[in-house]
Chains A and B, each alone.
Chain A
Amino acid sequence: DTGVSQDPRHKITKRGQNVTFRCDPISEHNRLYWYRQTLGQGPEFLTYFQNEAQLEKSRLLSDRFSAERPKGSFSTLEIQRTEQGDSAMYLCASSFSGHYGYTFGSGTRLTVV
């Protein structure tokens, strides 16, 4: 297992288009998290899963964002009708529940033009 993988690493899209990102966590980890990070800021929590159940979603997350983890393994994050303000690094992390050490992927950098 090589850690948390995210695909793609970079995505450039036109405003109004839909985009989907994929995260493959460490296989033994039952928790999966999505964060968003903009320049000069720390990562901002978006949502997390325990196995296939989405247990929390940030109030800051608009209805244009949706995440799934269908079989409790990989996860997808979709952004519909992208806006320029969605431009950011989208980070995925995984962990064992109750363990504080998260393993992050390298992120997907989204640029909306």
Chain B
Amino acid sequence: LAKTTQPISMDSYEGQEVNITCSHNNIATNDYITWYQQFPSQGPRFIIQGYKTKVTNEVASLFIPADRKSSTLSLPRVSLSDTAVYYCLVGDTEDDKIIFGKGTRLHILP
């Protein structure tokens, strides 16, 4: 399982676009990049997964450069309800389990 590095915390304001970058220098060929979101007193929630280039869904976009050694989660026009911890995970879909780091604590200010 490739190790990931992401900022411990970030602050932003309502209406802004937020980009959270994750480094994963040892990513393997079969590894996917997955992001989870966790609100206080709730379990993590899967938000997006990608392998290369760009993936977009109704919640976020995920940008992955050609070397795949990093990735950026982009949240468009955030609101106060986007305040949460965001986890970047890297692994093969055949992995037995996923291992969480400490994540990035995102705080949205009014």
The listed residue (B42, B93, B99, B102) touching A107 by CB distance below 8 A is B42
Q: A101 contacts the other chain (Cβ, under 8 Å)?
A: yes
Q: Chain B at the A interface: mostly helix, strand, loop or mixed? A: loop
- Docked-complex contact B97 and A107, CB < 8 angstroms: no
- Docked-complex contact A98 and B96, CB < 8 angstroms: no
* Residue of chain A at shortest CB distance from B101: A42
Contact partners of A35 in chain B: CB under 8 A: 100
Q: Which of chain B's residues 36-68 have a Cβ closer than 8 Å to chain A?
A: 41-46, 49
Q: How far is the CA of A102 from the CA of B98 in the complex (A)?
A: 9
Q: Provide the B85-107 mask, 1 if CB < 8 A to any CB of A, else 0.
A: 10100010111111111110000
- Docked-complex contact B93 and A100, CB < 8 angstroms: yes
- Docked-complex contact A104 and B45, CB < 8 angstroms: yes
Contact partners of B101 in chain A: CB under 8 A: 42
How many interface residues does B have (CB within 8 Å)?
23
Contact partners of A109 in chain B: CB under 8 A: 41
- Docked-complex contact A107 and B98, CB < 8 angstroms: no
Q: B72 contacts the other chain (Cβ, under 8 Å)?
A: no
The listed residue (A40, A43, A55, A92) touching B100 by CB distance below 8 A is A43
- Docked-complex contact B102 and A104, CB < 8 angstroms: no
- Docked-complex contact A107 and B41, CB < 8 angstroms: yes
Q: Provide the A90-112 mask, 1 if CB < 8 A to any CB of B, else 0.
A: 01110000111111111101000
Contact partners of A33 in chain B: CB under 8 A: 97
Q: How far is the CA of A35 from the CA of B36 in the complex (A)?
A: 15
- Docked-complex contact B96 and A55, CB < 8 angstroms: yes
Q: How far is the CA of A40 from the CA of B49 in the complex (A)?
A: 24
- Docked-complex contact B87 and A42, CB < 8 angstroms: yes
* Residue of chain A at shortest CB distance from B32: A100
- Docked-complex contact A100 and B34, CB < 8 angstroms: yes
- Docked-complex contact A100 and B98, CB < 8 angstroms: yes
- Docked-complex contact B44 and A45, CB < 8 angstroms: no
10 new A-B pairs (CB below 8 Å) besides A43-B44, A89-B41?
Answer: A4-B43, A41-B102, A42-B100, A42-B101, A42-B103, A45-B99, A48-B96, A100-B34, A104-B45, A106-B43
